[in-house]
Amino acid sequence: MKGRSQGLDQEALQKCSALSKRIIERFIDEFGSERCQDITGYLLSDPAQYRKWLENGGKEKCIDLVKSVTLFSAEIMKSIGKD
């Protein structure tokens, strides 16, 4: 295992960056943005808006979003070597 003190594996770093970019692009395609406020319609750092978000089922909606992202991220990662 290599740490930063031993240098970075540039090829592995490039592959990881490419996968990350694909995941982010897919996320934006699916949800329209990568920003919680854009997706939820609430500014979650504002206590009043956070309460409204909770009251309107925001937590459950975000759990569903995380499930979806986990599945398509796994799908993208499985594709390594198939492209």
Residue 56 has pLDDT above 70, yes or no: yes
pTM of the model: 0.75
* Residue 33 clears pLDDT 60, i.e. is over it: yes
Place of tokens 């694909």: 22
Model pLDDT, residue 59: 95
pLDDT at 79: 85
Eight-class DSSP state of 80: T
By CB atoms closer than 10 A (0-12, 13-18, 19+), residue 64 is exposed
pLDDT of residue 11: 86
Whether the predicted pLDDT of 3 surpasses 60: no
- The CA distance from 50 to 57, in Å, is 11
Instruction: Identify the residue with better confidence: 14 or 81.
Output: 14
Segment 7-36 shows an average pLDDT of 90
